[in-house]
Structure 1
């Protein structure tokens, strides 16, 4: 059974090297677990959708909750799915520097990434729009 989980967290270490390390490790380990997804990072906040088998996604989310590189981990949305929306990515990354602020304003009060201030459905809609507008880098 496939599921999709959406969560937010805050980075302990916001340096670009630390974020790249998280992405690199995800891209190495996720394919062996059947995990796909997308990561949006901006202003020290992660917004991530992960998809895969129920146990694999549950195990990964548990790991993220215990990961010392994250704090304030918050489950935003969880659902059983018929098919993946982010199946083309082992872990895609949204390039926040290339996002038109009007996209962020469409989904929130301010032109900034703040999944803590909106519903999980709104955060998922934002990720889908970012995917549709080709704001995602790091496909493999």
Structure 2
């Protein structure tokens, strides 16, 4: 059974090296677990969608909750799915500093990433729009 999980967290170390380390680890680990997804980062906040088998997704989310690189980990949405939205990505990446701020304003009060202030449904709609506008990089 496939599921999709959407969560937000605040990043402890916001250096480019720390963010790249998290992405590299995801891209190395996820293929073997059948996990796909996308990571959106901006202003010290992660918004991440992960898809895959229920056990693998649940185990990964448990790991993220215990990971000292993340704080204030909050589940935004969890659902059973018929097919993946991010099947082509082991972990795609969105660099919000290069995204048109009008896209962010479409989904929130301010032109910044704040998944804590909107619903999981709205956060997922934002990720889908970013995917449709080719703002997601790193299919690896």
- TM-score of the alignment, normalized to the shorter chain, above 0.5: yes
Match in the other structure for 2:36: 36
- For each residue in 1:53-102, what CA deviation from the matched residue of structure 2 results, as whole angstroms up to 9, or x when unmatched? 00000000000000000000000000000000000000000021221100
Gaps of 5+ in 2: none
For 1:77-92, list aligned pairs within 5 A: 77-92=77-92
Work out the CA distance in 2 between the residues paired with 1:123 and 1:96.
14
Work out the CA distance in 2 between the residues paired with 1:98 and 1:14.
17
Match in the other structure for 1:23: 23
Find out whether 1:50 has 2:19 as its counterpart: no
Match in the other structure for 1:105: 105
Q: Which runs of 4+ in 1 moved over 3 A?
A: none
Gaps of 5+ in 1: none
TM-score by length of 1: 0.99
Work out the CA distance in 2 between the residues paired with 1:16 and 1:102.
25
